[in-house]
Chain A
């Protein structure tokens, strides 16, 4: 038998064994069974790793007798994309997903001391899912399927996937997708055991998954910007939406868990959010990997779609049945005393995220429903998503500005005055200055200027309050005070860094959309063409071969106020010989605060048709979305390490609720 399928078969058997061992172990209270089950779980990870390395090896050795290898790679494909062709198709993606899940649970199983009752009850959920994935990999979605002939060459990888984005976008997304199942399983175990501590246990894994999803979306966005020539960073394509949806619900979940941790409220709501997140994760895979999005008519042809749908239905029904059965134990405490309070701001946050989820889900799913039930197909344009989500984004921005300073329980008028008069005054002054400098646009004034200043000033005020508290306790000099305050309040600081990252993304998006200037020119070599403050001079046109493609390039020198700011900028078109297809390669260059974006439409020996764009502030999106966001999440995740001076920590559930601290430290996985 073939190596890949053999290892997957053994992995399937091991996961069934581990599942049975857990169920019998819980039922008959046989502790020794869990030890063998944990070894089996580590074995699953080893076997899935062998299968994955084997698939990499098949690609590297270009073994086209394997159908999957032949479909997604070819002799002329460069090695790095040959390796990343692993996840170019549905079958390899499923293997990647299963591989990551198996590694995650092996990490949990290897750390024996935290393998407590909650984990014991959560693990069967993950094992069932994993066994189901292995079953699919062996029957309907087979990356190791062999052909009865040896193709001369493979079909090659889609030229659009031949980009560094291909290395990072699918992998980070599946890192998130795989991570989501762990908080979901902990939740199911928590409901079953009536154990509320699942929420603390789930937190770190939820953050880990959130980071993966956030990076996946950012890489996808960067890819769209630099490769796909969709003309921007986000096109509301169903495939993009599919990865955005679980991110939205998981973000809402992460906020509302704070209400449960601190106040014991929103329990049922958190369960729903976690359920939605996992369902939308599977739904995203269904949309992007089963071909269903092109047309529901392909549904009949798609072998895997029914498997994903059945799984989603079973998960949904089983969770709701469990919730109904245990409903008495998930009664929340009443937490909302006033609409103007910290609790209220969390609630609004959740409403905004749910509204965004609902609109994106509806827009993505409606074409499928329309075709299935009304018999005709429709498409939903980006204008719908923008018109709904831009106002939601602005509302979110202002909520973000309020949340650090608004009081818990009920904010009195005097409290509001005390906390918000300074930030509001600063924001007003900033708006006046901006207006005086000539900024007239509503979005720029309200979002970029007022919103930014408000968010920054309220966050700064809260941070200085925390630092002052530290100073009162033990004054060790300003720098040390800040460092200590940071160390003792990492969750708060990390969260605020994420807020700043989101602010940067919103401002960049607003700047790019409102102030984008674009024009298409029919150019001749030697001619100069102006967009905004920039003059673009077409200096040369060249053609050269590079790897498996021919490149046509138009070269530009760019001037601003007569001064050369960029030399030899390129607009490119790629012609892929094997696929006989021509692709535009958009090029973006950052000059000062602006991105100059070149997207060639045609290049001949002495002329070129090029769309030139000037997009301000785009660099903020990438700095915020990659560096600040990652750093913020890592700071949050680092609360793994026990916080030393708990007494003065402002982190939710540390300072306020000692009981929670204890449960957290005992039960963190």
Chain B
């Protein structure tokens, strides 16, 4: 092996090593993302893995215990619903009836969320208040 080949060989090893580590950390950082009904079907097979579940915060379901910063609500879609518990305080922009993504694990029938993310900040907008509906 001449000098150039040796250098290339060294660089090659470094590149392969970096790639290997990147792939490793990528697969560890990957978590599944379900709709509520998909999640309910698969909940038993998840085995304590951290997952993300997307749904809508059901109106009238919020129980907020400020003394403990404990938030409980129902996350639902058209076909299914789950109870979500979070002790991370009030998530930003929290509001009933809007979509949210919860991240956490499923234990004994409740979803223990370590993160609750409500509808994305840059996509506000929504339905407008029509004048004729104003009196209702």
Contact = CB atoms under 8 A, between A and B. Distances in A.
A583 interface: yes
A583 B95 CA distance: 10
B60 interface: no
Interface stretch (A383-391, A414-422, A559-567, A632-640): A383-391
A378 B95 contact: no
Contacts of B28: 383-384
B69 interface: yes
Given A71-B128, A380-B30, A388-B22, A228 B69 contact: no
Contact of A155 (B31, B120, B124): B124
Contacts of A362: 26
B32 A355 contact: no
A583 B30 contact: no
B78 interface: no
B121 A601 contact: no
A149 B131 contact: yes
Nearest to A601: B89
A155 B127 CA distance: 8
A646 interface: no
Contacts of B69: 520, 522, 601-602, 609
Contact of A70 (B95, B128, B134): B128
A378 B25 CA distance: 15
Interface stretch (A156-164, A265-273, A453-461, A493-501): A156-164
A378 B32 CA distance: 4
Interface residues of B, number: 41
A573 B29 contact: no
B130 A239 contact: no
Contacts of B93: 158-160, 579, 581, 583
Contacts of A153: 129
B96 to A, nearest CB: 8
Contacts of B25: 383-384, 387-388
Contacts of A383: 25, 28-29
Contacts of A293: 120
Given A151-B131, A388-B25, A601 B90 contact: yes
A176 interface: no
B120 A294 contact: yes
B67 interface: yes
Interface in A569-605: 573, 579-584, 599-604
B102 to A, nearest CB: 12
B121 A384 contact: no
Given A378-B33, A601-B69, A161 B124 contact: yes
7 closest Cβ contacts across the A-B interface? A601-B89, A384-B29, A377-B33, A609-B69, A387-B25, A602-B66, A158-B124
27 contacts: A67-B128, A72-B124, A89-B124, A147-B128, A150-B131, A151-B128, A155-B126, A155-B129, A158-B121, A160-B93, A239-B122, A355-B18, A363-B26, A363-B29, A378-B30, A378-B31, A378-B33, A379-B32, A384-B26, A384-B28, A387-B21, A388-B22, A388-B25, A584-B90, A599-B89, A602-B64, A602-B67
